[in-house]
Structure 1
Amino acid sequence: MTPGARISAAIGLLERLDAADAPPADKLLADWARNNRYAGAKDKSAIAGMVYGTLRRRGQIDWWLSRCQGGAPTARARILIWLQLGQGQQLTDMDGAFTGDRFDPPPLTGAEKRVAVELASQRGFELDCQPLSAAANVPDFLSDELTSLYGDTAAVQLSAHGEEAPVDLRVNTLKGDRKTAAERLAAEGVEAVSTPYSPIGLRLRERRPLTGTAVFKDGLIEPQDEGSQLAALMVEAKPGMKVVDFCAGAGGKTLALGAAMENTGRIVACDVSEARLTRAGQRLKRAGVFMVERRHLSSERDKWVKRRAARFDGGFDRVLVDAPCSGSGTWRRNPDQKWKLTREGLDEVMAKQAAVLDSAARLVAPGGRLIYVTCSILPSENEAQVAAFLSQNPSFFTHPAADVWKEAVAGSPYPGDTENPFLRLTPKDHDTDGFFVAILGRKLG
């Protein structure tokens, strides 16, 4: 593909991502690659680089477009800013790619050339006068909440969300240990090192495809961010326990719980998506986890929850609520999703979180624990939700996360603030996705 054809493809993909019904960026790019087999590996890499680069810097790009009076922030306008400030291209470089010939994008307009001239002396995207929403590349309506959370370090903390996330793997301890997994990966040409906090985690030195490797097919490894691994470990699920994974999705944490329980006891993996539970079944089989019952729920108020709660007074030792959330902790992986987030959408998600917590709590046995987890950095989805739940459910109390860590992840350094009863993980401080973990105990009386 010519440079211009690559740019045209990137513009088309960004336009598609702006649609309300757009799939996630990674799926869209995978589908494009599958449907355009003429594109070589370098073409796909260049196109993905432009798409993700533009998405990660979109707040600053739109700010520069506004400052330079560059018109509406279209996919084409954003790509032009990315090429200049992100890739260091000159006006002559862009003129040579925007020819209008065959698959190249149409020639630059006079207004586009004027913006390029205005930016010619600018090196990089940053400028001191940028507001937080631009400097940190986040939706403007979140600025106040994020400033309240991070204070003067907000821009630095949030800038880490613009970096590429590492590839982490969880070692399936039902089939081997971390040393064995690393050695088997190395034998297949994949180099991995131990994760700093998770005792069952590996991190690839460079991004590599894994689904074709024997170590993956045998179920010894499973892709899972280290933060997600730690959240599952903090459930402190033990062999013989009865556990519910209330929002199991495709089963990532269910797999981790099954391994921690050494395939003994019982796990009920619940979700409102039958398709996700089907995928979970495939993963459970590969991992050799056989003590999981998959249960499709019509909603968080499904009749099964009511029957189970009424008959057994909950009866489960651990109930994990990996709650639906904004996904703000995963912006490194899914930068497109931040630009789809709205105030109204966030309010809807928060209402769902409260409903899910309230319903799942009925399944917790006296003396058991309710573990509330989000992949969000927003206090409104985390501390505020827990505070509201505790105010309405006096039979529950907070287990300090640092104390639970000592038992659940013995021998690994605690990544959180010991003065904070909850565990918070961030890309900047821990090089994980953003995660929040609250452990809530149910009183015996």
Structure 2
Amino acid sequence: MTPAARLQATIELMHEVDSVARPADAVVSAWFRARRYIHDIDRGRILELLYALLRHHARLGWWLGRHGREDEPRNRLLAWLTLKEGRTLDQVKRLFNGAKFAPAMLTDHEHALLLKLQGGTIDHPGMPEEVRLECPSWAADPLRRRFREAFGQEMAALLTPAPLDLRVNPIKATREAMLRALKDLGLRAEVSAMAPYGIRVHERPSLASLPMLKNGEVEIQDEGSQLVAMLVDARPGERVVDFCAGAGGKTLAIAAQMNNKGHVVACDVMEGRLKRGAERFRQAGLHNIETRLLAGETDRWIKRHKGGFDRVLVDAPCSGTGTWRRNPDARWRAQEEQDLDKLVSLQARILASAARLVKPGGRLVYATCSMLSEENENQVAAFLAAHPAFRAVPLREAAPRLTNSSHPDYLSLTPARNDTDGFFAAVMQREGALAGGPPIAIRGPFPE
């Protein structure tokens, strides 16, 4: 594709992302599946530009609003080319030339906009801090309360591209073998800093080019997500529930911990997610997983299995603030303060219901990919106050080798501090007969 054709493709893809209520990654995947003729190199450049535009959404919108222009894909791209790439008016005209597959020629209004933007940069001293840091207004105060003086640092980290992390499936492969295989593909990769089965790839390969991904030897999973699954500490022969399993990323890690022995129930309220998860389970060679479609957090299945499980993971639906660098569009989907209140209430109901499944001496792990205290430690404190049969298991007891958490008792990871997605996890134990076994042994190397 020519540079102009890639710009036009990006405009069309942005329109698609803007027009549907699905996450950008799902839209992008479907869009490219319908255009298999686009080569990998062109796909990579289109994606790179698309996600750069998404990460600069508020700032580009601010500039367009400043000059009375509509915040829509073509205007956004024109502002980007001028303010971020430093293109001159003549250079932009040559790209927007109206040729076949290229963007239409500039209108008089667009020409006037570019003249006003010439010589500017993407940041401006008149921008509010929330705009400059791409932080939606509904999340700004909760995040400031959480991070205080580190607010700017953490928000800046969320504007960087997320790394590609893989989790090796020990049922099918070893980390050493996968590192060699990645090297043979010409990729730079190294062991993760904290996760014992993690690999960080320092490239942006086409995922279709990774045979180990197709055959279930590895899964794409952020290192923080891997650590949450490790905290479940599932042992071979136990009975485990992944209560909000989704498409099964953490379920896979838990079942592999158990060496295919025992029983894992992957629950969700979305049938499509469970079907996708079941396909991944088969590909990974895991046979100890059952999928269970629930009608909601009060499904009768929960009552019938009360006190029947050694480990229960509640990876609760949340605001997703910890995933913003991976899903930059997520921060701009409709989310108001009252919706956060509703979300916190839903989390509390889910947690209370899932807790009924834990046997005496068993453990309940509550996790989110949020960095808001309202969804994390405050949620846990409220649960423990209302459920005296449970006690918090401090991180130093549950996983003494995990020393780089920003919370003394719970797993708390952030992009700026840990170079992972933002994650929170709390381990709680139901009082009664003690669950056997030592704390989980997460191998190093570990950060100082």
1:48 equivalent to 2:42? Answer no
Residues 100 and 160 of structure 1: CA distance in aligned 2, closer, same or farther (over 3 Å): same
Structure 2 distance, partners of 1:39, 1:255, is 32
- Secondary structure at the counterpart of residue 16 of structure 1: helix
d(CA) in 2 for partners of 1:88, 1:38: 31
Other-structure match for 1:414:
403
- Work out whether 1:280 is the aligned partner of 2:277: yes
Q: Could you tell me which of 255, 259, 266 is aligned with 2:256?
A: 259
Indicate the residue corresponding to 2:182 in structure 1: 185
* 3-state DSSP of counterpart to 1:202: strand
What is the alpha-carbon distance in structure 1 between the residues aligned to residue 266 and residue 297 of structure 2?
Answer: 13
Q: What do residues 390-434 of structure 1 show as CA deviations (whole Å, max 9, x unaligned)?
A: 22222222111233122xxx4xx52213x5322111111111111
Mapped partners of 1:213, 1:48: distance in 2: 18
Structure 1 residues 12 and 379, CA gap change in structure 2 (3 angstroms): same
Contact 1:50-1:82 within 8 A present in 2 as well: no
**In the alignment, is residue 330 of structure 1 matched against residue 323 of structure 2?**
yes
- 1:431 and 2:419 aligned: yes
Structure-1 separation of matches of 2:304 and 2:385: 25
Q: How far apart in 2 are the matches of 1:185 and 1:7?
A: 32
Cα distance per residue 1:151-199 (max 9 Å; x no partner): 2321221111121111111112223321122123333444421011111
Distance 1:272 1:367, change over 3 A: same
Task: Return the letter of the residue paired with 1:349.
Answer: L
Q: Tell me the TM-score normalized by structure 1.
A: 0.90
What corresponds to 2:11 in structure 1? 11
Q: CA deviation at 1:228?
A: 0.6
Counterpart CA distance in 2 for 1:132 and 1:228 is: 30
Residue 202 of structure 1: how far off its partner (Å): 0.6
Give the total of aligned pairs: 432
> Could you tell me how far 1:38 is from its partner in structure 2?
4.4
Q: Structure 1: which amino acid aligns with 2:197?
A: I
Q: Deviations over 1:346-405 (max 9, x none)?
A: 344333212211110101112211101111112222122222222222222211123312
Report the equivalent of 1:156.
153
Q: Using the TM superposition, give the Cα deviation of residue 4 of structure 1 relative to its aligned residue in structure 2, in angstroms.
A: 3.5
- The whole-number CA distance in structure 2 between the counterparts of 1:13 and 1:54 is 12
Q: Provide the residue aligned with 2:77 in structure 1.
A: 79
**Is the CA contact 1:70–1:112 (under 8 Å) kept in the aligned structure 2?**
no
Q: Measure the CA separation in 2 of the matches of 1:5 and 1:361.
A: 54
Provide closer, same or farther for how the CA distance between residues 185 and 2 of structure 1 changes in structure 2, counting only shifts above 3 A.
closer
One of 326, 333, 350 as aligned partner of 1:356? 350
Larger CA deviation: 44-53 vs 224-233: 44-53
Structure 2 residue identity aligned to 1:327: G
Out of 431, 435, 440, the residue aligned to residue 443 of structure 1 is 431
Relative to structure 1, the CA distance from residue 353 to residue 206 in structure 2 (aligned partners, 3 Å threshold; closer, same or farther) is same
- Provide the rounded CA distance (Å) in 1 between the counterparts of 2:39 and 2:237: 51
1:99 — aligned with what? Answer: 97
| Pairing 1:173–2:183 present | no
Alpha-carbon distance in 1 for matches of 2:153, 2:88: 29
Deviation per CA, 1:220-270, whole angstroms, max 9, x where unpaired? 212111111000011111222221111111211111111212222221111
3-state secondary structure, aligned to 2:399: helix
Cα offset, 1:137, TM superposition: 0.7
Q: Tell me how far 1:107 sits from its aligned partner.
A: 3.4
Map 1:379-394 → 2, pairs under 5 A: 379-394=373-388
How far does residue 37 in structure 1 lie from its aligned partner after superposition? 4.1
Unaligned 5+ segments in structure 2 are: 434-448
Q: Deviations over 1:295-352 (max 9, x none)?
A: 111111111101111xxxx121110001111222111221112111411543443332
Is the 8 Å Cα contact of residues 53 and 82 (structure 1) preserved in structure 2? no
Quick one: structure 1 residues 41 and 284, their matched pair in 2 at CA, closer, same or farther if it must change by over 3 Å?
closer
Q: Does 1:90 align with 2:88?
A: yes
Q: CA RMSD in A?
A: 2.2
On the 8 A contact 2:40/2:206 being kept in 1, the answer is no
Secondary structure of the structure 2 residue equivalent to 1:193: strand
Q: Report how far residue 92 of structure 1 moved.
A: 1.5
Counterpart-to-counterpart distance in 2, 1:173 and 1:316 = 24
Contact 1:70 1:115 in 2 (8 A): no
TM-score, length-scaled by structure 2: 0.90
Residue aligned with 1:162, SS: coil
Flag the 1:208–1:182 CA change in 2: closer, same or farther, 3 A.
Answer: same
CA distance in 1, matches of 2:30, 2:330: 18
Q: CA deviation at 1:135?
A: 1.4
Runs of 4+ in 1 over 6 A off after TM superposition: none
Distance in 2 of aligned mates of 1:157 and 1:217: 34
Given the superposition, is the C-alpha separation of residues 336 and 363 from structure 1 closer, same or farther in structure 2, using an over 3 Å criterion?
same
Contact 1:197 1:414 in 2 (8 A): no
Instruction: Name the CA distance, whole Å, in 1 between partners of 2:44 and 2:222.
Output: 23
Shift of 1:129: 4.2
